[in-house]
């Protein structure tokens, strides 16, 4: 791989990232339906939206739309389905009653913890095979990527 040019390396990183994402989606998709939010009938985008709300709650609809990179109307339709499935709630913002914030429904909170645990277990299994030295390098790169992504979300 050292003799590859930059574009070939970036292509490899991209394709490997996609394979890792599919692997992780499968790991969480393997949760028994009774253990998953919405009892196993969530689409991939609904699960991603639920995870974003769980991780960053309370959050506005606009913030969810930015994080998912969808339009506000698409995010609203997505949230409507998640509210209907009792995965997400819409609540008045305690700081500004005119605003609404999104939170994980109390009945789905335990399932979100289980989903996150499955993600972590699947990722830890792969990282364990990579070895600590590579994990340290990966961590350093991911710090930089996280800063860039957080800035992009912040700026829309």
pLDDT digits (tens, 9 = 90+) for 50-86: 999 999 999 999 999 998 989 999 999 999 999 999 9
Output the six-digit token pair for 56.
Answer: 């960053």
Helix (H, G, I), strand (E, B) or coil at 92: strand
Alpha helices in the chain (DSSP H): 6-29, 44-56, 61-68, 72-84, 106-130, 132-155
pLDDT digits (tens, 9 = 90+) for 141-153: 999 999 998 888 7
Instruction: Calculate ∠ Cα 65-68-69, nearest 5°.
Output: 75
Q: What domains can you pick out in the chain, each with its CATH number?
A: 16-130 (1.10.10.10)
pTM of the predicted model, to two decimals?
0.69
Backbone phi, psi, residue 102, to 5°: -105, 135
Helix (H, G, I), strand (E, B) or coil at 72: helix
Residues 83-94: b if buried by 16+ CB within 10 A, e if exposed: eebebbbeeeee
Higher-confidence position of 33 and 63: 63
End-to-end Cα separation, the chain, in angstroms: 35
Separation CA 23–CA 29 (nearest Å): 10
> Could you give the percent of the chain with pLDDT greater than 70?
90
Contact 102, 53 (CB under 8 A): yes
Look at residues 72, 139, 69 and name the one whose alpha carbon lies nearest to residue 100. Answer: 72
Backbone phi, psi, residue 95, to 5°: -90, -20
Look at residues 89, 87, 110 and name the one whose alpha carbon lies nearest to residue 41. Answer: 87
């Amino acid at each position: 791989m050292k003799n590859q040019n930059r574009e070939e390396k970036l292509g490899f990183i991209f394709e490997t990232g996609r394979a890792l994402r599919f692997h992780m989606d499968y790991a969480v998709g393997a949760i028994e339906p009774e253990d998953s939010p919405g009892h196993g009938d969530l689409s991939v985008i609904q699960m991603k939206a639920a995870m974003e709300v769980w991780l960053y709650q309370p959050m506005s609809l606009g913030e969810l739309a930015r994080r998912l990179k969808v339009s506000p109307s698409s995010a609203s339709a997505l949230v409507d389905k998640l509210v209907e499935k009792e995965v997400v709630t819409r609540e008045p913002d305690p700081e500004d009653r005119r605003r609404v914030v999104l939170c994980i429904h109390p009945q789905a909170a335990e399932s979100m913890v289980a989903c996150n645990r499955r993600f972590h277990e699947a990722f830890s299994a792969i990282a364990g095979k990579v070895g600590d030295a590579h994990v340290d390098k990966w961590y350093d790169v991911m710090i930089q990527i996280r800063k860039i992504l957080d800035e992009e979300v912040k700026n829309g």
